Amino acid sequence: MALGPATVVSMMLFVGCGRGDGPALRRVSGAVSYGGMPVTAGSVTFTPDGARHNTGRQGVAPIKDGHFDTRGSRAPGIEGGPMIVQVTGLLDATAKRQFQHKFATELARDGDVILDIDIDPRVAPEVKPIDF
């Protein structure tokens, strides 16, 4: 049985309506530094830690001049609980100094979260960009 265009659109609208019924999303913002120096640019990604029985939406925030905020991003918030946080950053405007670091943490399930991240270069050494 083939579905007509109007049926498909109606089904899409019906499925999309449930988005607002889920758990409230929490804004996460803060500062990111590497060895005490602000990270020039990059991103912070929050993924629910499935190994610790957390599910939900992933959140992401761009880093700009040492600060990040999930509000206004393409994934504007998280539900909280155990998370894997991945920070990918540039340490200068030339993009020749980069790093990536991942760590586990617990974020509040109620209220917005301010998270300041200072990455130790001994734990997350700089990586060389790939030249093509």
Q: What is the mean pLDDT of each run of 10 residues along the chain (132 residues)?
A: 46 41 84 95 95 92 95 84 95 86 94 94 83 59
Residue 128 lies in a domain: no
Residue 20 lies in a domain: no
What's the pLDDT score for residue 11?
38
Residue 9 lies in a domain: no
Residue 125 lies in a domain: no
What's the pLDDT score for residue 130?
64
What's the pLDDT score for residue 104?
97
User: DSSP code of 26?
Assistant: B
The answer to whether the CB of 58 falls within 8 A of the CB of 107 is: no
What's the pLDDT score for residue 85?
97
pLDDT single digits (tens) 112-121: 999 999 999 9
What's the pLDDT score for residue 24?
82
Residue 68 lies in a domain: yes
Distances (CA, A) of 66 to 15, 32, 86, 88, 91: 38, 5, 15, 12, 10
> 5 exposed, middle or buried (CB, 10 Å; 0-12, 13-18, 19+)?
exposed
Task: Compute the distance between CA of residue 102 and CA of residue 125 in angstroms, rounded to an integer.
Answer: 12
Range of the domain at 73: 25-119
What's the pLDDT score for residue 14?
37
> In terms of Cα–Cα distance, which of 103, 87, 96 is closest to 34?
87
The answer to whether the CB of 25 falls within 8 A of the CB of 111 is: no
Per the structure, the count of domains in the chain is 1
Residue 5 lies in a domain: no
Residue 83 lies in a domain: yes
CATH of the domain at 85: 2.60.40
Residue 97 lies in a domain: yes
Positive or negative: CA dihedral 130, 127, 67, 23: positive
